[in-house]
Structure 1
């Protein structure tokens, strides 16, 4: 069975006249009649009752007409859908991000993208950098917002989305609360909460190196795996913590934030995507991301 036979049958069934159907399909009447006959022979069913005066659909023909219209409509929808996908008007984008990215302007960028592209579905995955990279390379993510420090990014394009300094999160009744700014040297002997070494080993070493340059070893009393957990423990009075400046924009009862000077690495979030990914939808998302990037 060929698609053109279905097209011819719909025309005859709607016109109930082979001559008009032939004109509608831009073919001669004899070839049209022949195609309908072949269709009926293939199905083993009579679809049309023909007399010298009229053409009538059989009950089987009426049902087949309904099904053929469904096929035609779904095919038309499929054509429109893939054309819209090629234009970046419809489709799907899978976005991965680390938890702290939710404190940046990424949520605002996502909202702006959705408002401009309401027919594009966004799927989100909140995971660590180490978890996102294989998903990106395995085509299970289209773009990943990660924190890079010594990671292998071969085969990937990148866009620095956020760069900001560290600040010090302190319990609100801490002795540092009256200070406007602090220096890393002020933290000698101070109980500190650090992100886990296993999560970002290269960054962990860099931060430890910053304390070494200041002339002392940090007094780490607890290691945690998320920025949110870090700030929550600061609120309990367990210690102070180095956190990205954007954390200060998220109010947390019992916690204050102070600018911190010293030889410290910058806190960065980078967008990554595969070099071979030429998706129009991805490019449109990157255009929006560039509008909201923050690089201090």
Structure 2
């Protein structure tokens, strides 16, 4: 059975006249009649009752017409769908991100994209950088927002989405709370909360190196696995912590933030996507992402 046979059958069934159906299909009547006969032979079913005066559908023909129209409509929908996908008007985008990205302008970028592209479904996955990279390479994510510390990015495009300095988060009532700016040298002996060494070993070494260069080892009283946990522990009074500047938007009571001076690494979030990914939807999303970048 061929698609053209279905098209010819729908035309005859709707016109109930071989001549008009042939004109509608832009073919001669004899080939049209032959194709309908071949279709019936393949099915082993009579679809049309033919006399010299009329053409009528058999009960089987009526049922087959209904099913054929459904096939035609679904095919038309599929054509429109893939055409819209090619133009980036419809489809799906899978976005991975680390937790701290939610404190950046990424949520605003996503909202702006959704407002202008309501027919594109966005699927989100909040995971660590190490968890996102294999998903991206395995085509289970289209774009990932991560923190890179020596990770392999071969075959991937990179775009710095956020670059900002560290600030010091302190419990309310801390003696340094009266200062406008705090230097890294002032932190000698101060109880500090750090991100876990095992989670981001390269970042951990970089921060420790910043303290070594000014002549002392930081007094680390607790290690945690997320920035959110870090700020929560600061609020308990356990110690202070180096956190990205965007964390200062955290309205959690019991924590104050002050700028830090000294030779410290910058805090960055990088967008990654496969070089082979030529999706029009991804390109539209990247255009919005570039509008919301913070790389001062």
When normalised by structure 1's length, the TM-score is 0.99
Moved over 4 A (4+): none
The alpha carbon displacement at 1:171 in A equals: 0.4
> Is 1:64 equivalent to 2:59 in the alignment?
no
* Structure 1 CA distance for aligned equivalents of residues 277 and 79 of structure 2: 22
* Structure 1 CA distance for aligned equivalents of residues 202 and 126 of structure 2: 21
The alpha carbon displacement at 1:118 in A equals: 1.0
Q: Secondary structure at the match of 2:45?
A: coil
- Structure 1 gap ranges (5+): none
The aligned length equals: 296
> Is 1:25 equivalent to 2:25 in the alignment?
yes
Show the counterpart of 1:226. 226
Q: Secondary structure at the match of 2:131?
A: helix
The alpha carbon displacement at 1:260 in A equals: 0.7
The alpha carbon displacement at 1:147 in A equals: 0.5
Show the counterpart of 1:50. 50
The alpha carbon displacement at 1:151 in A equals: 1.2
Q: In the TM superposition, what whole-angstrom CA distance separates every residue of 1:102-149 from its partner, at most 9, and x where no partner exists?
A: 000000000111111111111111111111111111111111100111
* Structure 1 CA distance for aligned equivalents of residues 17 and 49 of structure 2: 11
The alpha carbon displacement at 1:57 in A equals: 0.6
Q: Secondary structure at the match of 1:96?
A: strand
> Is 1:276 equivalent to 2:276 in the alignment?
yes
When normalised by structure 2's length, the TM-score is 0.99
Q: In the TM superposition, what whole-angstrom CA distance separates every residue of 1:253-282 from its partner, at most 9, and x where no partner exists?
A: 111101011110000001011111111111
- Please provide the CA RMSD for this pair: 0.7
Show the counterpart of 2:238. 238
* Structure 2 CA distance for aligned equivalents of residues 228 and 84 of structure 1: 40
* Structure 2 CA distance for aligned equivalents of residues 184 and 169 of structure 1: 13
- Structure 2 gap ranges (5+): none
